[in-house]
Amino acid sequence: MTLRSALEGNHVSFPKVLENKTGGTIVTRFSKQQIITLYQITMEDVIILGTGCAGLTAAIYTGRAQLNPLVLEGTQPGGQLTTTSEVENFPGFPEGIDGYTMMDNLRKQAAKFGARYEHAKVDKIEVDGAVKKLYAGEKVYEAKTVIVATGARPRLTGVPGEQEMFGGKGVTTCATCDGAFYRDMEVVVVGGGDSAAEEALFLTRFASKVTLIHRRDSLRASQIMADRATSHPKIEMAWNSLPQEILADEKGFTRGIRVKDANTGEEREIACKGAFIAIGHIPNTDFVEGVLERDGDGYIVPSAGSQVKTKYEGFFAAGDCVDHVYRQAITAAGMGCQAAIEAERYLAEL
């Protein structure tokens, strides 16, 4: 019997099994009223979903506004930056900062102002008038305002070596973030759309050579971007090429990529120090399906005239689950700030 069925039914009690420190079990029984008291849902002023730059910035601002935000961490506390070895383009760090350290600092800063954290992955959201209900397994949260900042995850190729060298050993998904680390080195970009073409062109500012690997014999990018990429003297095209493995050197860093010709099946190695995967991102927004408007790729669509408002009063979205253009830590933080200020203004008017 589940907790929810017990509370909704006419059962006067049900067993609650607790594991003790010795590995055994203690079985107790509570009355229905005791259960309701124990599991009483607290109405929160602000619930923030996600602990990336957008979510933690929102937590700092709402915390300083004395709104006592509850932050639900999800499956990747700290967001994508926790997998980045060094961040050089976030203001205020002239020597750069380790991604994990930066996110830990943001977390501590939000906690200083009263932010509370819970590990929970929201599966579903319901909006009932001014009340927002969030379901995370058997647990239900209620809030006056919600800020969704669940981010997006990069779409990877899945080939051997990719995960092992991702985030600091040569495999990355952001040329803007990491391109400067590959000055005067050879790199590859995997992909064939506008994002891949843009990444390749950006990398020509630093790399000595950029090989653009695509599985077909022409790019899917817009004509102007395709023309720029294929005509650039620093960019070499690897047509009809399917990635097979990211290759490591003796220290575990990227030394090349093995590809297979889609037509002949012949395999070859392309030497590189960096492999930039540019085949898209997947926004973490499945749980708002049917509640908030999403575009064809799953990104939350904000209301006209705002970057963070949605069709529901008191319901906001910020960061990479909304932004599919810039996808930077600083822009996510800015959107988190916007969402927090909007939430504060909304609550002040209730």
Q: Which residues are catalytic?
A: 174, 177-178
Q: What's the pLDDT band for 128 if we cut at 50, 70, 90? A: confident
Pair (57, 148) in one structural domain: yes
Same domain, 34 and 101: no
The pLDDT of residue 87: 85
CATH of the domain at 109: 3.50.50.60
DSSP for 139-197 reads EEEEEEEEEE---EEE-----TTTTTTBTTSSEES-HHHHGGGGTTSEEEEE--SHHHH
Tell me: pLDDT of 13 over 70.
Answer: no
- What are 249-290's pLDDT values in tens digits? 999 999 999 999 999 999 999 999 999 999 988 999 999 999
| Alpha helix stretches (DSSP H) within the chain | 3-8, 32-38, 53-64, 99-112, 175-178, 194-203, 223-231, 329-348
Q: In the 8-state DSSP scheme, what is residue 321?
A: G
Distance between CA 72 and CA 77 in Å, rounded?
Answer: 9
Q: Residue 30 — very low, low, confident or very high, per pLDDT cuts 50/70/90? A: low
Give tens-digit pLDDT for 140-176: 999 999 999 999 988 999 999 999 999 889 999 989 8
Angle at 253 between CA 249 and CA 257, to 5 degrees: 70
Q: What is the mean pLDDT of the chain?
A: 89
Is the pLDDT confidence value at 81 over 90? no
Which of 222, 251, 277 represents a domain boundary (last residue)?
277
Tell me, yes or no, whether 65 and 140 share the same domain. yes
Q: CA 61, CA 115: separation in Å to the nearest integer? A: 10
**Same domain, yes or no: 181 and 197:** yes
Determine contact, residues 150/285, Cβ cutoff 8 Å: yes
Range of the domain at 324: 43-153+283-348
Are residues 42 and 19 in contact, defined by beta-carbon separation less than 8 angstroms? no
6-10, 114-118, 292-296: which has the minimum mean pLDDT? Answer: 6-10
Q: Are residues 292 and 335 in the same domain?
A: yes
Residue where a domain terminates, one of 277, 306, 333: 277
Residue 8, pLDDT > 90, answer no
d(Cα 302, Cα 296) in Å, to the nearest integer?
14
Handedness of CA 57, 62, 65, 70 (dihedral sign): negative
Q: Same domain, yes or no, for 140 and 179?
A: no
Number of domains present in the structure of the chain:
3
203, 175 contact by CB (below 8 A): yes
pLDDT of residue 217: 96
Under 8 Å CB-to-CB from 22, ≥6 apart: which residues?
none
According to the model, what pLDDT value does residue 32 have? Answer: 53
Could you tell me if 25 and 17 are in contact, meaning their C-beta atoms sit under 8 angstroms apart?
Answer: yes
Q: Are 151 and 54 in contact (CB under 8 A)?
A: yes
* pLDDT above 80 for 68: yes
Higher-confidence residue of 335 and 27: namely: 335
Q: Are residues 13 and 79 both part of a single domain?
A: no
Judgement on whether residues 80 and 180 belong to the same structural domain of the protein? no
In this model, does residue 19 exceed pLDDT 70?
no
* Beta bridge partner(s), residue 212: 189, 237
* Region 125-136 average pLDDT: 93
Top mean-pLDDT range of 10-19, 76-85, 99-108: 99-108
Q: Clarify whether residues 147 and 296 are in a common domain.
A: yes
- pLDDT single digits (tens) 287-312: 999 999 999 999 999 999 999 999 99
Which band of pLDDT confidence, cut at 50, 70 and 90, is reported for residue 313?
Answer: very high
CA distance 218 to 150: 34
Report how far residue 322's alpha carbon sits from residue 61's, in angstroms, rounded to the nearest whole number.
Answer: 19
Rounded Cα gap, residues 197 and 323, in angstroms: 19
CA–CA gap between residue 259 and residue 275 (Å, rounded): 12
Tens digits of per-residue pLDDT, 42-51?
Answer: 799 999 999 9
Tell whether 230 and 258 lie within a shared domain.
yes
Residues 178 and 265 both lie in one domain: yes
Percent of the chain with pLDDT over 70: 88
Q: Are residues 256 and 291 in the same domain?
A: no
